[in-house]
Amino acid sequence: MEMSYQAIKTANQVREADELRTEARRKNLLVLILHYLTDSGYMSTAGALEQETNASLRRYEVCDNVDLETIMMEYESYYYVKFQKYPKITKKLGENTENCRFPLKSGGKLRRTVSNASQPLPRIGMSQRPPSQYGAKKAAQQRALGSHKAMQEEATEQPTPAEADFGLNVAPIGRTMGGSAPPHRRGQIIDFRSMIGDAIRAASGDITTSSTGLSPDPPDRLLKPLGAFAGMTGEMRELASIISRDIYLQNPNVRWDDIIGLDAAKRLVKEAVVYPIKYPQLFTGILSPWKGLLLYGPPGTGKTMLAKAVATECKTTFFNISASSIVSKWRGDSEKLVKVLFELARYHAPSTIFLDELESVMGQRGAGGAGGEHEGSRRMKTELLVQMDGLARSDDLVFVLAASNLPWELDHAMLRRLEKRILVDLPSAAARRAMILHHLPPVNSGTGLEIRTELDYEQLAQATEGYSGSDILLVCKEAAMRPVRKIFDALESHRPAEEALPALCLDTLHTGDLLDVLAHTKPSARTLCARYTEWQREYESV
C-alpha cells in the first residue's frame, strides 16, 4: 500500500477534528437535556444524569434562545417544508412489549427498531410479472401514473399552514405555465476539499473551538455511562462502579517538556499510546503497539511524573490503580475486580492502566516458602496474568504502564508480559543543571516573594551527583527557605511600640548557600544504583 507523509498527517488531523466535534456534540446534547430536566422540575433525574456522566455539566449553560423544545419545533418545521408532512418521533409499542427493556448490543449501544418507513418491498409473484419487454414498459408507465395520483391525493390531505400554526406559506411545486414539468435540477455540489481543509485547520488550531464549547484539553472527560456496559450482572456492575472511581478525570497539567531527561521512556510511551491512536495505519501486523511497559528505578526519579504526563498528553482513559483498588478482604472479589478492570478498560478504549508500586501486587508467587502465600493472593495474581495475556492476543487499544522501585521482587511471569522494561536512572549532569535552573532561576517571581539568585549551575550540577530529582527539589526548597526564616525572626521579635518595620527584602541566594544545604541533605538512593544496574544487565528490554 502506497502511503505518503502528507496523506498520513492529513488523515490524522481530519480524524482528530472529527473526534473533537463529536465529543462537543455529545456534551452539548447532555447539557440541553440537563437544562430541560431542570426547567421541567425533574431534579432527581437531573442529579442522576450528572452523577452517571462523571462530568460537571453545571459549568456549562445553554445559550440564549436555545433549548430542547425550540430545537424540536425547528426540526418539525424543517421536516414539513421538505416533505410536506410532520415527522413521526415516537410510536406506541404493542401490549406484549410494554414492560420490556431496550435490548443492548455487545458494544453498549441501543438497537434501533426498524421504522415503518423502511418496510421491505412486496414480493412479486409469477402471475404479476409482465410477459415481455413491451408489457414491462407498459406496467412501469401504469405504476408511475398511479404513484403520481397518490402523491396528488396525499398533498391534498395535508393540513394547511394556518392549521399548523407555524406561519409558513407552503405550496407544492406544480407544473409551469407552459404545462411542462419543471427542469431537472442536479444535486448539490459538495466541496470536499474545503471540508477537509476546515477540518485540518480546526485540528491545527486555526479555527477556534469556542463555537463547539469543547477545548482541545478538557479539564474533565466525558465517560461512557455504565448503564450501557452490557453483559454485566448486578454484582459485576457494582464492582465496575468501584473501579470507575479510579479513572483519573482531572488534568494533572504535566507536559512531555516538563520532564527533564527520560528520553527513552518517553519515546516508548509515545510508541505504545500516542502514535497508535494518531497513525493507526502504521501499527498493523508485526508493528502492533506495545501492550506493557515497566518503569523501574530509584525513588524520586520521575516514574509517577511520567504517568501524569500520559494522563495529560494522551487522549486515553487513564486508570490510576493501586493495591487498594483491586485487593479485597472478601473471598473471590479480588480476581473479580481485576477482570472488571480490564473489561472497563476495553469498554473505555483507548485506555491506559497505571499500576503504581507493582511489587505490592505482583510479588513472586511462593516467595514466603511453603504455605507462606495466601490462596486469595495467588488467585488474584493469576487473574491479572491471564488478563494481560488476553491483551497481547487482541487488538484492543489498552496499554498497561507499571512502575516499581523493587523490580527484583516481581514475578517472572509478569516480567514476560511487560514487553518493555526501562531503567529510570538518576539524572545526568545536564539534567541536574536544568533542574536547578528550573527551580532556582536568576529571578523567581512565581511565588508571593521575589527570590534572586547568583548561582554557578555547573558547579552545583557536579556537586549533586547521586541525587534524584526529588532530592534536588528538596535541596532547592531548603535553600530558598533560608532567607525567608530571617523574615520570621524579624516579624516575631518586633514590638508594636517600637519603630515601624523596614521594607521587606530577601537576601540573594549564592552558590555557597546551596553547597551548605547539600552538606546537610544526603541523597536517598545512592546505595541502590549498583543493584539496579545489575538487574538491568539481566532483564533489560528497550
**How many whole angstroms separate alpha carbon 247 and alpha carbon 397?**
16
Model confidence band, residue 125 (pLDDT cutoffs 50, 70, 90): very low
Low-confidence winner among 40-49, 255-264, 282-291, 424-433 (lowest mean pLDDT): 40-49
Residue with cell 509515545: 270
193's enclosing H/E stretch is helix 192-204
pLDDT tens digits, one per residue of 92-105:
887 665 555 444 44
303 is an annotated ligand-binding site residue = yes
- Does 409 or 2 have the greater pLDDT score? 409
Which range is least confidently modeled, 58-62, 222-226, 328-332, 535-539? Answer: 222-226
Look at residue 473 in the predicted model and tell me its pLDDT.
92
Give the single-character DSSP code of 541: B
Does domain 429-524 sit in CATH 3.30.470.30? no
From-to residues of CATH 1.10.8.60 in the chain: 429-524
Give 244 or 374, the one with higher predicted confidence: 244
Mean pLDDT of the chain: 75
**Whether the predicted pLDDT of 270 surpasses 90:** no
pLDDT reading at 179 higher than 60: no
Q: What residue type is 315 in one-letter code?
A: K
Helices 5-40 and 192-204, packing angle to 10 deg: 80
What value does the mean pLDDT take over residues 412-422? 89
The rounded distance, in Å, linking the Cα atoms of 69 and 89 is 13
- pLDDT confidence of 54, banded at 50, 70, 90? low
Q: H/E element holding 45? A: helix 43-53
Compute, in degrees rounded to 10, the torsion defined by CA atoms 369, 374, 380, 383. Answer: 60
| Residue 73 pLDDT class (50, 70, 90 cuts) | confident
Window from 291-295, 379-383, 499-503 with minimum mean pLDDT: 499-503
Question: Is 427 among the annotated ligand-binding positions?
Answer: no
> Collapsing DSSP states into helix, strand and coil, what is residue 224?
coil
User: CB of 347 within 8 A of CB of 224?
Assistant: yes
Is 302 a known ligand-binding residue? yes
Determine whether the annotation assigns residue 332 to a binding site. no
The answer on pLDDT for 184 being more than 90 is no
Separation of alpha carbons 242 and 245, rounded Å:
6
CATH 3.40.50.300-classified regions of the chain: 228-366+373-423
Residue 199 confidence (pLDDT): 53
Residue 297, annotated ligand binder?
yes
Number of H helices, E strands in the chain: 19, 8
What is the β-pairing status of strands 398-404 and 292-296? parallel
**How are the residues of the chain apportioned to helix, strand and coil, as percentages rounded to the nearest 5?**
50, 5, 40
CA separation for the pair 222, 54 (Å, rounded): 7
The reported pLDDT for the residue numbered 107 is: 43
Minimum mean pLDDT among 20-34, 173-187, 401-415, 527-541: which range? 173-187
Is domain 228-366+373-423 classified as CATH 3.60.20.30? no
Residue in the block written with cell 408489457: 135
How far apart CA 228 and CA 211 sit, in angstroms, is 29
> Over 50: is that where the pLDDT of 116 sits?
no
| 357, pLDDT greater than 70 | yes
Contact between 359 and 406 under an 8 Å Cβ cutoff? The reply is yes
- Using pLDDT thresholds of 50, 70 and 90, give the confidence band for residue 324: confident
pLDDT at residue 185, rounded to an integer: 47
Q: Which one, of 446, 201, 403, 436, lies nearest residue 309 by Cα?
A: 403
Q: What is the pLDDT of residue 447?
A: 66
For the cut 60, the answer to whether the pLDDT of residue 294 exceeds it is: yes
pLDDT at 13: 80
The pLDDT tens digits for 212-258 are 444 444 445 566 766 666 556 677 778 888 888 888 777 788 888 88
Task: Tell whether 486 is in a known binding site.
Answer: no
Look at residue 327 and give its three-state secondary structure.
Answer: coil
Percent of the chain at pLDDT exceeding 70: 69
Q: How far is CA 91 from CA 54, 111, 306, 348, in A?
A: 32, 16, 53, 33
